[in-house]
């Protein structure tokens, strides 16, 4: 998606170690109208999958997921990283490594909001190694739901996450793909 | 706001101890179109304040804040509760008690995205005792910014947060006000 790519070219920072800083428009400060446009694009690309619910992970996935949900008219559930007191004792929980925290984090969804038979569309900010996304896939499958699609704003192709998703037979859409971040570069690839 | 009030009447749960569970449409599962409508309402009510930025706290404030930001065409910054590795070492940080966690949490904003001279509109899910909101006000003031308005989806009038805001001379808008949650009740008040 051209608008997102241009924003990364202008403001994205390569911090080394494969970390792309996009805190000025996605991860700390959010450009809500850009996220709305990204949500519209995901909605268009995924509109024929029959999704009944969108699933994301707090925190950075919320803005693009909520915008996609608005365009598709679907509810969105965000997996929590700690269990609030409003959640029942019996939950769906899985562990996934966090890129920016350097440790495992919990992903928790209440069975109240993820049920068997649902067709789940996963939307997140990044697709890197795919570890968080696979955690969301496990949560959905544990609930007896089917994952019908996976969308991410930015794919870091060199971390290889896409292969794991496609091995599961799940279609993957990313809006911007980055092929190389060595030596301070941010090189873009043609989008899949 | 009628649509939000009706949803609380239908699905909100009084868990006791002043805890209103709205996990089915705000705090875990999000009704994106309802949040969009709430954002439109905030945008209408605050459109003449000259706000240059919206500030909220992760996690539950993000959906209504991003929708308000979309309608007003403003960037939104969400205060982080832990410092990601993409954030500089020097940050604005304050402490606020968390209602649902039973302990103090940090609210952290990078100086990159909150500057002197900004006119800040605070949007959050709940206005209860006002402790989190006052934390956001402190962050903004530490940055040299001015808080021009405060909006919350749901006000728990009996926790008294509004008085603290109005003592600072900041206009407060809440979309639904709840006056009493004793004995399992959820009683609504006329909106301020």
A7 near A34, Cβ under 8 Å? Answer: yes
The pLDDT tens digits of the residues spanning B169-188 come to: 999 999 999 999 999 999 99
Quote the minimal CA–CA distance from B63 to chain A in Å.
7
| B169-to-B41, B48, B117, B129, B148 alpha-carbon distances in Å | 22, 16, 18, 17, 9
| Contact (CB<8Å) B70/A32 | yes
CA distance A161 to B75: 30
CA distance A135 to A85: 23
- pLDDT band for position B88 (50/70/90)? very high
- Element holding B51 (H helix, E strand): none
| Contact (CB<8Å) A28/B74 | no
Mean pLDDT of the B148-158 span? 97
Identify the contact set of chain A against chain B, taking CB-CB distances under 8 A: 15, 19, 21, 23-25, 27-33, 35-36, 58-59, 62-63, 66-67, 69-70, 73-78, 80, 82, 84-87, 100-102, 109-110, 112-113
Q: Residue A75: its chain B contacts at CB < 8 A?
A: 25, 29-32
A192 has pLDDT over 60 = no
| Contact (CB<8Å) B69/A110 | no
What is the torsion angle, in degrees rounded to the nearest 10, for the CA atoms of residue A168, residue A65, residue B84 and residue A15?
A: 70
> Can you give the C-alpha Rg of chain A in angstroms?
16
> Would you state the pLDDT for residue B190?
81
The pLDDT tens digits of the residues spanning B111-120 come to: 999 999 999 9
- The pLDDT > 70 percentage for chain B reads 98
- The pLDDT > 90 percentage for chain A reads 93
Mean pLDDT of the A53-60 span? 96
| Contact (CB<8Å) B32/A67 | yes
Rounded to two decimals, what is the model's pTM?
Answer: 0.96
DSSP characters for B47-109?
TTS---EEEEETTTTHHHHHHHHHHHT-EEEEEBSS--TTS-SS-EEEEEEETTTTEEEEEEE
CA distance A98 to A128: 11
Mean pLDDT of the A74-94 span? 94
Q: Residue B37: its chain A contacts at CB < 8 A?
A: none
The pLDDT tens digits of the residues spanning A104-113 come to: 999 999 999 9
The complex's ipTM works out to 0.96
CA distance B89 to B39: 33
- pLDDT band for position B68 (50/70/90)? very high
Residue B2 CA to chain centroid, in angstroms? 19
Residues with Cβ within 8 Å of A51's Cβ and at least 6 positions away in sequence, in order, are A72, A74, A119, A120, A121, A148, A149
- pLDDT band for position A57 (50/70/90)? very high
| Contact (CB<8Å) A101/B82 | yes
Nearest by CB to residue A32, choosing from B32, B76, B87, is: B76
Nearest by CB to residue B66, choosing from A19, A30, A101, is: A30
- pLDDT band for position A102 (50/70/90)? confident
The pLDDT tens digits of the residues spanning A141-163 come to: 999 999 999 999 999 999 999 99
Nearest by CB to residue B85, choosing from A19, A24, A78, is: A19
| Contact (CB<8Å) B28/A87 | yes
CA distance A71 to A64: 11
The pLDDT tens digits of the residues spanning A1-33 come to: 999 999 999 999 999 999 999 999 999 999 999
Nearest in space to B115 (alpha carbons), one of B52, B179, B187 = B52
> Would you state the pLDDT for residue B61?
96
> Would you state the pLDDT for residue B79?
97
- CA torsion sign for A135, A138, A142, A148 is positive
- pLDDT band for position B192 (50/70/90)? low
> Would you state the pLDDT for residue B153?
98
| Contact (CB<8Å) B77/A31 | no
Q: Whole-number mean pLDDT of chain A?
A: 95
Mean pLDDT of the B19-24 span? 97
A107 beta partners: A94
> Would you state the pLDDT for residue B102?
75
B43 near B67, Cβ under 8 Å? Answer: no
Mean pLDDT of the A167-179 span? 97
Nearest by CB to residue A28, choosing from B59, B70, B77, is: B77
């Amino acid at each position: 998606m051209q608008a997102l790519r241009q924003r990364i070219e202008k403001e994205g920072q390569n911090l080394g170690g494969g970390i792309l800083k996009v805190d000025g428009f996605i991860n700390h400060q959010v450009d809500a109208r850009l996220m709305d446009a990204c949500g519209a694009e995901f909605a268009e690309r995924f509109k024929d999958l029959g999704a009944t619910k969108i699933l994301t992970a707090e925190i950075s996935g919320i803005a693009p997921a909520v915008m996609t949900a608005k365009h598709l008219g679907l509810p969105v559930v965000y997996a929590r990283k700690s269990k609030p007191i409003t959640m029942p004792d019996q939950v769906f929980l899985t562990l996934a490594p966090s890129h920016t925290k350097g440790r495992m984090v919990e992903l928790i969804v209440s069975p109240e909001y993820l049920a068997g038979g649902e067709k789940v569309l996963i939307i997140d900010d990044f697709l890197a190694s795919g570890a968080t996304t696979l955690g969301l896939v496990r949560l959905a499958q544990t609930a007896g739901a089917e994952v019908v699609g996976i969308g991410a704003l930015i794919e870091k192709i060199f971390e290889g996450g896409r292969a794991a998703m496609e091995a599961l037979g799940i279609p993957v859409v990313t809006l911007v793909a980055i092929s190389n971040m060595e030596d301070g570069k941010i090189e873009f690839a043609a989008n899949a």
